[in-house]
C-alpha cells in the first residue's frame, strides 16, 4: 500500500474539523440556554498507546466545546476507551459498562460511548449490540479520527451507532491533543503491529504497522519542548520497525538521532522494542544521544526455545542474551526492563526454568509479569493447555520472588549515589513529598522543594526498596547542567 493510501487526506481531516465546529456551535447554544456547558468523562484502560488515544479524544472533545468532569452521573457524555489484551482488562470494562445503567437512568440524555481495542473484536461489538443496550456509540481504533463525525451524527439523529469495520488502518495527522501529564508527554510514532505473536490480540485490533512521517513527529516534539515538557515517550507496539513502511529514508535509530538534535533540555523515552528488530544501530544511537534515556524495555516473554517458537517471537534465548550483552556494551548504565508471560499453553514447569535462567543471567531492573490469558481468535487459544492453574500460579510466584530479590539488590546499589532526576509530581507521603524518575526510569521518592516540580534536579539516593529509591534533592540544575 502506498503512503497516500495509508494517510488520511487533508480533505478528510478538514471534514472532521467541520463536524467539530457543528458540535461546538450546538454546545455553545446549550450553554447559553441552560447556563451549563456540556461535560464529558473519558476513562482509559490498557497501555500507553490507549492513553495517547484518549488524549486525542479529549483534544477533540475540548475543541467541540465540552468541559471535563469526574462524575459519571453528571457527565453528558461518557467515553470508555477499552483494552483487549487480557481477560482481566475486558472484565473490568464489562463490569464498569454494566454499572453505567444507573448513571443513565438518572440522566437519560447521557451519551455512552465505547471505543478502543476491545470494540474492534467482532464478538465484543456484538455483545454491546445485544446485551448492553444503554451504549449509544461504539467504534474501534481504526475509526478514532472520525469520532467528531460519529458523535455529531449520534447527537443529531439519536439511535445507536456502530463503526467497527476491520482493516489495515490509516495514519491521521493533525488531530487535536489535550495532555494532562506535564512534564511528561506521549507521542505516538506508529500504529499497529505485524508480528502476530501467537498469544496476542493486538495485531487483530490495531491493524498493520504504519509509521508517521518523521517531519510531523519532529515538529510535535519541538512544540512540546517549547511548551515546557521535559520527558517525551515515543510510542509504538514495536518502535524498532519504525520507518520500514514509509520509505522516508529514516529508521528508528535515525529518528532518535534527529530528535536528539532538537534544542532544549528534555529526555526521550520509547516503548516498546521487539528483540527481533532491536539492532546494534539502535543501541549505538542510544549510547551517542545524550537526550535519549538509557532505558530499554525489551520484552522476552519466555526463556525456552520451543516456547518462544510456539509464541512466534522470532528469536531464541541465546539471541536474546546476545542482544542484552550488545546493548549493555553500547549504552553505559543501561536500565533493562522486560515483559514475561507465565503459563503459555503447553509450557511445562521444566521449560519455565529457562525463563528463570534469563532472569538470573540478565538481572533486569524491573519486570512486568503476566499470567497467560487466552484471546479468542489467536492461534495460541486453540493449543492444548494441560498445566493446572495452581501449577501456573506456583511458577508465577517463583518468578516474582526471584525478580523481587534482583530488583531490591539493584535498587540498593543506587544508595549513596547522586543522580539527575526529573521531578514529576507530589507524592503526599512525608518526608518524601515529591516523586521523580531517574534517567533510567526508576521511581524516586524525594524530599525537597515542590517548586522544582517539572525540572531536572540532583538527588542524593539515601535508601531503596524492591520498588523504588528514596532520596533528597541536592540542588536544581541549569539548562547546561551536568550529568
Which residues contribute to the site for ligand F3S (CB under 6 A)? 46-47, 49-50, 83-85, 117, 201-202, 205-206
Q: How far is the CB of 93 from ligand F3S (least distance, A)?
A: 10
Give the one entry of ligand F3S, ligand SF4, ligand SAH, none that residue 83 binds, where binding means its C-beta sits below a cut-off of 5 to 8 angstroms depending on kind.
ligand F3S
Q: What is the largest CA-CA distance in the chain?
A: 69
Name the one range near ligand SAH by CB under 6 A: 154-162, 179-187, 366-374, 471-479: 366-374
By beta-carbon proximity to ligand SAH, the closer residue of 283 and 456 is 283
List the alpha helices (DSSP H) in 375-437.
389-412
Give the one entry of ligand F3S, ligand SAH, ligand SF4, none that residue 341 binds, where binding means its C-beta sits below a cut-off of 5 to 8 angstroms depending on kind.
ligand SAH
Dist. CA 402–CA 422, nearest whole Å: 29
Q: How far is the CB of 343 from ligand F3S (least distance, A)?
A: 18
List the alpha helices (DSSP H) in 48-174.
48-63, 87-106, 122-131, 147-157
Rounded to the nearest 5°, which phi and psi values hold at 215? -60, -50
Task: Give yes or no for a contact between 243 and 252, defined as CB atoms under 8 angstroms apart.
Answer: yes
Binding positions for ligand SAH, 284-303, rule CB under 6 A: 299, 301
Give the one entry of ligand SF4, ligand SAH, ligand F3S, none that residue 373 binds, where binding means its C-beta sits below a cut-off of 5 to 8 angstroms depending on kind.
ligand SAH
Q: How far is the CB of 211 from ligand SF4 (least distance, A)?
A: 15
Does 197 help bind ligand SF4 (rule: CB under 6 A)? Answer: yes
Give the one entry of ligand F3S, ligand SF4, ligand SAH, none that residue 439 binds, where binding means its C-beta sits below a cut-off of 5 to 8 angstroms depending on kind.
none
Which of 333, 242, 248 is closest to 292 using CA atoms? 333
Which of 189, 192, 293 is closest to 243 using CA atoms? 189
How many residues bind ligand SAH, per CB under 6 A? 17
DSSP β-bridge partners for residue 445: 435, 470
Give the one entry of ligand SAH, ligand F3S, ligand SF4, none that residue 86 binds, where binding means its C-beta sits below a cut-off of 5 to 8 angstroms depending on kind.
ligand SAH
Q: How far is the CB of 169 from ligand F3S (least distance, A)?
A: 12
In the set 57, 83, 85, 278, which binds ligand SAH (CB under 6 A)?
85
E strand intervals along 208-334: 210-211, 231-235, 267-271, 295-297
DSSP 8-state class, residue 136: -
By beta-carbon proximity to ligand SF4, the closer residue of 271 and 453 is 271
Task: Give yes or no for a contact between 38 and 82, defined as CB atoms under 8 angstroms apart.
Answer: no
Burial of residue 312, with CB atoms counted within 10 A of its CB: 0-12 exposed, 13-18 middle, 19 or more buried: middle
Chain residues in the site for ligand SAH (CB under 6 A): 85-86, 199-200, 202, 237-238, 272, 274, 299, 301, 339, 341, 370, 372-373, 375
Amino acid at each position: 500500500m502506498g503512503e497516500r493510501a495509508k494517510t488520511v487526506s487533508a480533505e478528510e481531516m478538514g471534514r472532521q474539523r467541520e463536524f467539530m465546529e457543528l458540535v461546538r456551535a450546538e454546545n455553545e447554544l446549550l450553554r447559553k440556554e441552560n447556563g451549563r456547558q456540556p461535560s464529558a468523562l473519558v476513562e482509559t484502560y490498557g497501555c500507553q498507546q490507549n492513553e495517547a488515544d484518549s488524549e486525542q479524544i479529549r483534544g477533540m472533545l475540548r475543541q467541540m466545546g465540552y468541559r471535563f468532569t469526574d462524575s459519571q452521573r453528571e457527565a453528558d457524555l461518557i467515553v470508555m476507551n477499552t483494552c483487549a489484551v487480557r481477560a482481566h482488562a475486558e472484565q473490568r470494562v464489562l463490569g464498569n459498562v454494566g454499572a453505567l445503567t444507573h448513571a443513565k437512568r438518572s440522566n437519560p440524555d447521557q451519551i455512552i460511548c465505547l471505543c478502543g481495542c476491545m470494540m474492534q473484536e467482532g464478538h465484543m461489538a456484538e455483545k454491546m449490540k445485544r446485551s448492553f443496550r444503554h451504549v449509544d456509540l461504539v467504534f474501534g481504533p481504526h475509526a478514532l479520527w472520525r469520532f467528531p463525525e460519529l458523535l455529531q451524527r449520534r447527537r443529531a439523529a439519536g439511535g445507536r451507532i456502530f463503526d467497527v469495520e476491520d482493516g489495515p488502518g490509516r495514519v491521521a495527522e493533525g488531530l487535536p491533543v489535550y495532555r494532562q501529564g506535564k512534564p511528561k508527554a506521549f507521542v505516538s510514532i506508529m500504529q499497529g503491529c505485524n508480528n502476530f505473536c501467537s498469544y496476542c490480540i493486538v495485531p487483530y485490533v490495531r491493524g498493520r504497522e504504519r509509521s508517521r512521517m518523521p517531519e510531523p513527529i519532529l515538529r510535535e516534539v519541538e512544540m512540546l519542548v517549547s511548551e515546557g515538557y521535559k520527558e517525551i515517550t515515543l510510542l509504538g507496539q514495536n518502535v524498532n520497525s519504525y520507518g520500514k513502511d514509509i520509505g522516508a529514508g529514516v529508521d528508528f535509530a535515525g529518528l532518535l538521532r534527529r530528535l536528539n538534535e532538537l534544542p532544549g533540555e528534555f529526555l526521550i523515552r520509547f516503548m516498546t522494542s521487539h528483540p527481533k528488530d532491536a539492532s546494534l544501530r539502535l543501541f549505538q544511537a542510544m549510547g551517542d544521544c545524550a537526550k535519549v534515556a538509557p532505558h530499554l524495555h525489551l520484552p522476552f516473554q519466555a526463556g525456552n526455545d520451543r516456547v518462544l517458537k510456539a509464541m512466534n517471537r522470532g528469536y531464541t534465548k541465546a539471541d536474546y542474551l546476545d542482544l542484552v550483552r550488545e546493548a549493555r556494551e553500547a549504552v553505559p548504565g543501561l536500565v533493562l526492563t522486560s515483559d514475561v508471560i507465565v503459563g503459555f499453553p503447553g509450557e511445562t514447569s521444566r521449560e519455565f526454568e529457562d525463563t528463570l535462567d534469563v532472569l538470573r543471567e540478565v538481572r533486569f531492573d524491573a519486570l512486568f509479569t503476566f499470567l497467560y490469558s487466552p484471546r479468542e481468535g489467536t492461534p495460541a487459544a486453540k493449543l492444548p493447555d494441560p498445566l493446572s492453574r495452581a501449577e501456573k500460579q506456583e511458577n508465577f510466584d517463583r518468578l516474582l520472588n526471584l525478580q523481587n530479590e534482583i530488583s531490591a539488590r539493584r535498587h540498593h546499589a543506587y544508595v549513596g549515589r547522586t543522580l539527575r532526576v526529573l521531578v514529576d509530581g507530589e507524592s503526599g507521603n512525608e518526608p518524601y513529598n515529591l516523586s521523580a524518575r531517574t534517567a533510567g526510569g526508576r521511581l524516586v521518592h524525594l524530599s525537597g522543594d515542590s517548586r522544582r516540580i517539572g525540572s531536572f534536579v540532583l538527588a542524593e539516593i539515601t535508601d531503596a526498596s524492591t520498588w523504588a529509591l528514596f532520596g533528597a534533592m541536592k540542588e536544581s540544575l541549569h539548562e547546561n547542567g551536568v550529568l
